[in-house]
Structure 1
């Protein structure tokens, strides 16, 4: 996963260890955005609940468990490149008594040949496709995978969420936007499809796009204590990516926010929010 853009729950490329805290970030992302994920699933144009579902780039299982909750008769094949994340997902499934409804498969979605993923009625790919070097090839593979008439749901964030007010922190207003600008410049060449309109690519791959929706995310920090931990985990990863591109004063201010023992800790703020947009495309195999 691109460390400058650690937004989500489902990813295709990352190391098997979790020394950078990505698994924690994915779990927090799942917790904080759970209601929005559920609303996207409810919006999908499905006449009947799917029985076989594939979650591409599943990460630690945010989409997988939302799919299982939404479709109680479904079985989900969870696919990711990270063995560590798949182990974490499997442990969650066992703890929830869902192990019989989940199959985990380790695979790199940029490989030319994918393992057998069955013939799903629904394929879900959230925050994973923009990491691919060859998305057109992957979209074609999904089309071949799907059952006739099956649905492909592509979900992306407009960008990693913003947490701080624009005038924060007081001594370095606009710090968060400068951090994002720095990471965007550094990582643009590695994730050229971030922010793409997947509609034309889906059409070119032989799908009929039946719907597109943009959902504004604006969750006040007072609604969930997880928002503070989510902000902390996200900004820690952004610091790792942007450190060499930030000025000394910005870096010092960022470190004050990340110091959980200090008076300026982001965990002590009462003005946090989660602000971004999620886009979803629903495409039918024709």
Structure 2
């Protein structure tokens, strides 16, 4: 594995998993979730471009399928990377697909984008064509039966086509370890408070997809663990991104969190208060993503 700086679209906010209404079995047409996805795209645009440039393709794809496309972070990065390609953007959220379509019109690329609303946990997928590239960013771990979805992708791919799976190790961190001053380590404790929730509702988060890809009939050609550490001063969006993300984290952590920690978290989330996270100058975005690039295994292989 080769460490580099990169992030994929759509991190997994705990309250409603903006790994996007994704195309899995659950749907959340939630304006707050859509905002997080858009901020995610803004903060990590540079890193997303680096991973689309890295993809080990044998030829430029003419048709791409973006599974669990959310509001279009991957879709638009792929359209930019492959100027002759068309993208079929698939999600279970009508709201996300509507936003994606509006963005496509605003960017003048609506003729290169087809949106499809689908439950990717279904036994029967709609006709998605025969893509040379299938992109699944932070969406596979939302599947109730990912092994079935992986087999569906295998049948979907054009001969020699590439399947790119990008998954997160966990929720991004934003605060220094010694913050806030009166409750150091608050962020880690808030994440720990969500562990049982994630174990029950998102059991495949952080999984090693290599063996699952192999079991579904793929050969993994390359795998990289990608580290992200972006200084807060690089973008004013990072403060808003941190605020929205921690607000959603609070929704899951609150019932389990120590009352003093909850009070400290609420101070960070109070946008008008003196301790607001928006006033901090020491924020950063720290996370890891792993990318698997796979092709259909040869017959008998």
TM-score, normalized by the shorter chain, greater than 0.5: yes
Structure 1 pair 211–75 and aligned structure 2 pair: CA distance change class (3 A): same
What's the secondary structure of 1:189's corresponding residue?
Answer: helix
Count residues in correspondence: 285
Of 74, 77, 85, 2:88 maps to 77
Distance apart, 1:33 and its partner CA? 1.1
Distance apart, 1:202 and its partner CA? 0.6
Distance apart, 1:41 and its partner CA? 1.0
C-alpha separation between the residues in 2 aligned to 1:262 and 1:252? Answer: 13
Distance apart, 1:37 and its partner CA? 1.2
Of 29, 47, 55, 2:40 maps to 29
Of 100, 112, 121, 1:110 maps to 121
CA contact (8 A) 1:2 1:187 kept: no
C-alpha separation between the residues in 2 aligned to 1:270 and 1:227? Answer: 11
1:223 matched to 2:266? no
Of 235, 242, 265, 2:276 maps to 265
What's the secondary structure of 1:188's corresponding residue?
Answer: helix
Q: What's 1:237 paired with?
A: 248
CA contact (8 A) 2:224 2:291 kept: yes
Paired residues for 1:112-261 under 5 Å: 112-261=123-272
Structure 1 pair 234–15 and aligned structure 2 pair: CA distance change class (3 A): same
Distance apart, 1:26 and its partner CA? 0.5
Alignment RMSD (CA, Å) = 1.4
Q: What's 2:7 paired with?
A: none
C-alpha separation between the residues in 2 aligned to 1:219 and 1:2? Answer: 18
CA contact (8 A) 1:16 1:83 kept: no
Distance apart, 1:276 and its partner CA? 0.5
CA contact (8 A) 1:10 1:126 kept: no
Structure 1 pair 84–9 and aligned structure 2 pair: CA distance change class (3 A): closer
CA contact (8 A) 1:122 1:153 kept: yes
Q: What 5-or-longer segments of structure 1 have no aligned partner? A: none
CA contact (8 A) 2:63 2:87 kept: yes
Q: What's 1:280 paired with?
A: 291
Q: What's 1:87 paired with?
A: 98
C-alpha separation between the residues in 2 aligned to 1:24 and 1:62? Answer: 12
Structure 1 pair 199–10 and aligned structure 2 pair: CA distance change class (3 A): farther
Paired residues for 1:52-71 under 5 Å: 52-71=63-82
Distance apart, 1:48 and its partner CA? 2.0
Deviations 1:22-77 (A, max 9, x none): 00001111111111111111111113211000000000011000100100001000
What's the secondary structure of 1:165's corresponding residue?
Answer: coil
CA contact (8 A) 1:82 1:106 kept: yes
TM-score (norm 2): 0.92
C-alpha separation between the residues in 1 aligned to 2:256 and 2:75? Answer: 36
CA contact (8 A) 1:10 1:60 kept: no
TM-score (norm 1): 0.96
